A and B are shown apart, each in its own frame.
Chain A
């Protein structure tokens, strides 16, 4: 038998000795056992309140569930409304921009037309009012266009 085995054996012997109960400790442990038995029996046979507690808990959960559902519905609707509103605003802005673009184009066309009219008028006025000294030349131009 080596030292390790001897040591283990002596430790086991010491544990054995410590497990022997003196009468006072034995009595205390017996009382402890009886109290645990009585407590356990009472707890085992007690009227169960779990149903009431769980129903209250369930009611609480139900209320929280409804509240969350309401918040969800409201947020979905308000989100939809907000998205729709944003879309409408974007459409209106696009419409206004298109309208302004058309008006500007129209204005530009009108100005261009006015300019052209003015130039034509000037051109015709200028061509009609030939200085007297140049009239023979103008007549020649009228007769012979190729010149």
Chain B
């Protein structure tokens, strides 16, 4: 239940409390209850989606510190605007949209502050492929898989910002095209076009030119 629903449900109670001597106190109590419910609800959303938002930002920025910072900013922004969230899309889509905008802002600012060099925990592409779970594969298969992941990473690195976002949302976060369209603010046709171009680059990198 969102804070808006709670407020609607509490309307009759509030109307009756206006005539009571202790009405003001009751109003404060109902507001406090609504705020408590909203806080609990938001807390549940954070717990549920934090790792996914962090993963998207990490795969997108390839910088652990930056991903953590942007994740925190994302939830801070979400918390500030939680009351305005009307549930038209899923909470995940809404959060993803905030994350994408924050990421865009970051890159825009970074371009402006090109002189600023900071020491970060940025991980090179090949290092990301070291995290491939071994499973029950032979050493040779693992090596081949690692090589393929490295190639995909390299291709992803060469994508434009928008193509990369769409690609990661589709093939890492496994979101539907409609969800991606809502999160990015693009229409489905544009999302498909970006995905198609991104896949073409990945195919080229993997050596499967078609």
Residues on B facing A (Cβ under 8 Å): 51, 54-55, 58-59, 64-65, 67, 123, 128-129, 131-133, 145, 148-149, 151-153, 156, 171-172, 174, 189, 192-193, 195-196, 199-200, 202-203, 206, 208
- Please report the C-alpha to C-alpha distance between residue A17 and residue B80 in the assembled complex, in whole angstroms: 42
A residues contacting B by CB (< 8 A) are 8, 11-12, 14-16, 18-19, 21-22, 24-25, 27-29, 31-44, 46, 50
Q: Which residue of B lies closest to A43 (CB)?
A: B64
CA distance A49 to B129 in the complex (A): 23
Q: Which of B58, B171, B193 contacts A29 (CB 8 A)?
A: B171
Bound-state CA distance A8–B65 (Å) is 42
* A25 touching B196 in the complex, CB below 8 Å, given contacts A35-B129, A42-B131: no
Known A18-B196, A43-B67; judge A33-B131 contact (CB<8 A). Answer: no
Q: Is the CB of B208 within 8 A of A25?
A: yes
Whether B149 lies near A32 (C-beta < 8 A) is yes
- Beyond the given A18-B199, A31-B148, A33-B171, could you list 5 further A-B residue pairs with CB under 8 A, ordered by the A residue number? A14-B196, A28-B206, A32-B152, A40-B54, A43-B67
Chain B contact surface mostly: helix
Identity of the chain A residue whose Cβ is nearest the Cβ of B171 in the assembled complex? A29
Determine the chain B residues whose CB is within 8 A of the CB of A18 once the complex forms: 196, 199-200
Nearest A residue to B51 via CB reads A44
Known interface pairs A28-B151, A35-B131. Does A46 touch B55 (Cβ–Cβ under 8 Å)? no
Q: In the complex, are the beta carbons of A31 and B132 less than 8 A apart? A: yes
Contact between chains at B54 and A44 (CB < 8 Å): yes
| B202 contact set on A, CB distance < 8 A | 25, 28-29
B149 touches A28 (CB 8 A): yes
A39: chain B residues within 8 A (beta carbon): 58, 123, 128, 131
A36 to B173, CA, bound (A): 10
